[in-house]
Amino acid sequence: MMIDYYVPHDILFYCDHYTYHAERDSLKYIDCVHMHMGDYGNDTKELKRYRDEWLNKKQDCIHTPICTDHHRSCYTL
């Protein structure tokens, strides 16, 4: 069964990079999307703030020649 609903681009972008080794139809990827959509009762405003912080770090790393981060936030866009 497939259910269509709008997923904000920043969630897809985050989950694409956070689960870089998973296909979009894998449970790990789908779980990431559902978590960031707030389907598990998570605070969506807090998750949005977290994604925005992550994206800002990622953009900073583009302009930094060497960047190490255990959260993978410095991979090339």
Residue 75: inside a domain: no
Overall number of domains in the chain: 1
3-state helix, strand, coil in the chain (%, to 5): 50, 0, 50
What percent of the chain is modeled with pLDDT above 70? 70
Residue 50: inside a domain: yes
Report residue 58's pLDDT band, with 50, 70 and 90 as the boundaries: confident
Residue 71: inside a domain: no
What pLDDT does 16 receive? 92
Answer whether 20's CB lies under 8 Å from 72's CB: yes
Residue 70: inside a domain: no
Residue 20: inside a domain: yes
Give me the domain span that covers residue 46: 9-62
Residue 40: inside a domain: yes
Residue 69: inside a domain: no
Does this model's pTM top 0.95? Answer: no
**37 phi, psi to nearest 5 deg:** -80, -10
